[in-house]
Amino acid sequence: MAHEKLIEDAQAIAGELVTLRRAIHAEPELGLHTPKTRDKVRTALAHLPLEWTEGASTTGVVAVLKGGAGEGRSVLLRGDMDALPMPEETGLDFASCNEGVMHACGHDAHTAMLAGAAELLARRAETLKGEVRFMFQPGEEGHHGARYMIEDGLLGGKDGLSLPDAAFALHVFPNAPHGVFGGRPGSLLAAADQFRITITGKGGHASLPHETMDPIPIACEIVSALQAMVTRKFSVFDPVVLTVARIEAGTTFNVVPDKAEIEGTMRSLSSENRARLREQVQRIAAGVAGAHELTADIEIVEGFPVTVCDEQAVSLGERVAGEIFGEGAFLRLDDPIMGAEDFAYVLEKVPGAMFFLGVSHEGEDWTQCCGIHSTRMMIDESVMPRGVAMLAGVAEAFLARGFD
C-alpha cells in the first residue's frame, strides 16, 4: 500500500493542527474530567462522519470512523488530553491561562495529531475496509484514565462490541532527534508504583534523645536499606529503580518528632519484579523499624503496569515510517525507558505499540532541550504533520493487511 500522499495531506492541515494544539495548551485541564478539551476536539471534528461515544467515569470519548469498503479489521488510535499540576515558564504567547496547570508532557500535541489523523483518514474512508476508533483520553497523568475508559466499555469487550484488533499511540519527546520516530518490542516503559512509609516513635526534647524513640535515624536507616536491597535482591538483567524523593520530619531544631515520613517511587519492567519490589519495601521498612522498637506503616499506591509493545506492531510502525518518510525515519531503541504510561492498560488487552516522536527544533542540540515535565518544555510544531501521517499510515496499513 502506498502512503505517499499522507505527509502532503498532513502538511496541508498544519495550520489547523497548530491552532487546535495552541487552544488546548492555553486552557489545560487536569485529571479524568477535561470537558473544555473534549469540546475543542469535537468542534474541530464536527464536520466528519464520526460516531461518538462517551463513558460515565470520565470525559474521555471514542470516535469511530467506518470504512466504506466493507467489514474488516478495527484499529484504535489514542491521544491523551490532560495536563500536569505545575506552573508554566515558557513565555509563549499561548501559555497556560490556568495558574499552576501546564501541558508539559505534550498531550496537547498528541490530541491535535490524533484529530489530524481523523481528518486524513475520513478523507480516505471510502477506500478503508473496517473501522478506525479514535480514543481521546483524559487522566493519563497518574489518574488511570485508560483503565476507566476500558471499564466503561468504550474500547469494546462489553455489550456486543469487540475489542479492537490493534492499538497504536504516539508520544512526543523534546530530547530526541527532530522528526525521528522510535520504538521497541517488549517492555517499552516501566510499571510505576508509589510508596509512603510513616515511622512512628516517641518525641521529646532533643537534648534528651535517650528518653525518646527518635524516628529520624530509623528513617535514614530504612532509606539506606532500601538502596542496598535494590542492588542485592534484583538482577541487573531485569532491573528495578527505587527512588526516595521525600523525607519529612520535625518542626524545629530542638524537638525530637513523633513521626517521620518517607515517600518515593518504584519502577520495574516485569510483573514478577513489580510484586517482589512491593514485598521487599514492606518487609524492610517494618523490619528496620521493629528492630528499634518503632513501628512503620507502609502504604503502596498502585500505578500503571509495564507498557509492553507487540513485535509485529512495532515492525508495522517501522515499515510504515520507512514507506512515508524514507530510510532513517524510525529508530529501534536498545533499552526501555523507566517512565510509565497508562496506554499500558490498552496494550494489556490489545496487541499494539506506542511510538516516540522527536520534537526538538531542527538543528537544535536535542540532548540539551528541556524535557517532558519541565516548566519550560516546548515542542517544534512543524513536526506535528509527521505524527499525523504516521498515525494515519499505521491505521491504513493495518486495516489493509493486518500485521503482515
Question: Is residue 201 a part of any domain in this protein?
Answer: yes
Contact by Cβ (8 Å): 59, 29? no
Tell me what pLDDT residue 346 has.
Answer: 98
Domain end (from 301, 326, 357): 301
CATH of the domain at 295: 3.30.70.360
Residue 163 falls inside a structural domain: yes
What does 229-291 look like in DSSP terms, one character per residue? HHHHHS-TTS-EEEEEEEEEE-SSTTEE-SEEEEEEEEEESSHHHHHHHHHHHHHHHHHHHHH
Tell me, yes or no, whether 246 and 369 share the same domain: no
Residues in CB range of 197: below 8 A, 6 or more apart: 219, 222, 261, 262, 263, 281, 285, 296, 297, 298, 299
Residue 313: the pLDDT is 98
Residue 365 corresponds to which amino acid? D
Of the candidates 384, 399, 383, 391, which has an alpha carbon nearest to the alpha carbon of residue 317? 391
Domain containing 262: what range? 191-301
| Domain C-terminal end among 254, 277, 301 | 301
> 366 lies in a domain?
yes
Question: Does residue 129 sit in the same domain as residue 252?
Answer: no
**CATH number of 381's domain:** 3.40.630.10
pLDDT attached to residue 370: 84
Domain boundary among 269, 301, 333: 301
The reply to whether 102 and 184 lie within a common domain is: yes
| 286 plus 372 within the same structural domain | no
Looking at the structure, do residues 167 and 312 belong to the same domain, yes or no?
yes
Q: Are residues 124 and 264 in the same domain?
A: no
Same domain, 335 and 367: yes
Q: What is the pLDDT of residue 2?
A: 56
pLDDT of residue 4: 63
Residue 233 within a domain: yes
Residues of the chain under the 50 pLDDT cut: 1
Question: Could you tell me if 158 and 183 lie in one domain?
Answer: yes
In a domain, 170, yes or no: yes
Asked whether residue 1 is assigned to any structural domain, the reply reads: no
Examine residue 168 and state whether it is found in any structural domain, yes or no.
Answer: yes
Look up the pTM and report it.
0.93
Query: 207 and 182, same structural domain?
Result: no
Same-domain status, 181 and 324: yes
Q: How many domains does the chain have?
A: 2
Does residue 195 sit within a domain?
A: yes
Residues 91, 221, single domain; the answer is no
Residue 386 and residue 296 in one domain: no
pLDDT digits (tens, 9 = 90+) for 340-381: 999 999 999 999 999 999 999 888 888 888 889 999 999 999
